[in-house]
Amino acid sequence: MSKRSIVMVALGLALQGPAALAQSEGWGTGYQMGTSYAGVSGADGTRLTFYCGDPAAARANPAIVSGPYLMAVLPKTQLKDALPSAIEIVADGKATRVPVKAQAGMEEVELTWTPSRDFGVSEMQPLVASLREAQRIELRAAEAAVLLPTEGVAKALAGNPLRCP
């Protein structure tokens, strides 16, 4: 393999960030640039990740989002050009509707929840608790329904991913 190919593979993995690890090993956790995360990727590239940006790091670097948030990423092919305003996260058959802001990229759509008056951390905490013990996790948005891996979910969500330093 040429040096250029190795650099391209390394760059591709770096750009995928935390989700690359999650896809190959079930749910995973980590910390990068002032932000802790716990998440998973499905085989089709769907991702579900809880993030928590350190407020002190966010003050020092405006690229860091302060506080807890959740990001789901779905391939555009799953959404059929829809930009949903909510997702459903289903843990063992119990669906929780989470309001999100959608942002379309070239091949995927990012769906981001941030705490609000209508759906804050206190509404998200029961969902996180149900995911910890779930035997089946599904992500639904618009007409898409994707089954996500559960391997490692209890360990990844054992700490509270909504509590920032």
Residue pLDDT, tens place only, 89-138? 999 999 999 999 999 999 999 999 999 999 999 999 999 999 999 999 99
Q: How far is CA 150 from the centre of its chain?
A: 14
d(CA 57, CA 65): 9
- Domain membership of residue 53 as a residue range: 3-156
Nearest partner of 97 among 84, 78, 108, judged by Cα: 84
**Average pLDDT over all residues of the chain:** 85
In a domain, 41, yes or no: yes
Rounded to two decimals, the pTM is 0.82
Q: How far is CA 64 from CA 34, 59, 60, 76, 103, in A?
A: 7, 8, 9, 26, 18
Asked if residue 165 belongs to a domain, the reply is no
How sure is the predictor about 86, in pLDDT bands with cuts at 50, 70 and 90? very high
Q: Structurally, how many domains does the chain consist of? A: 1
* Cβ–Cβ under 8 Å, residues 19 and 32: no
What does the pLDDT average to over 47-62?
Answer: 93
65 within a domain of the structure (yes/no): yes
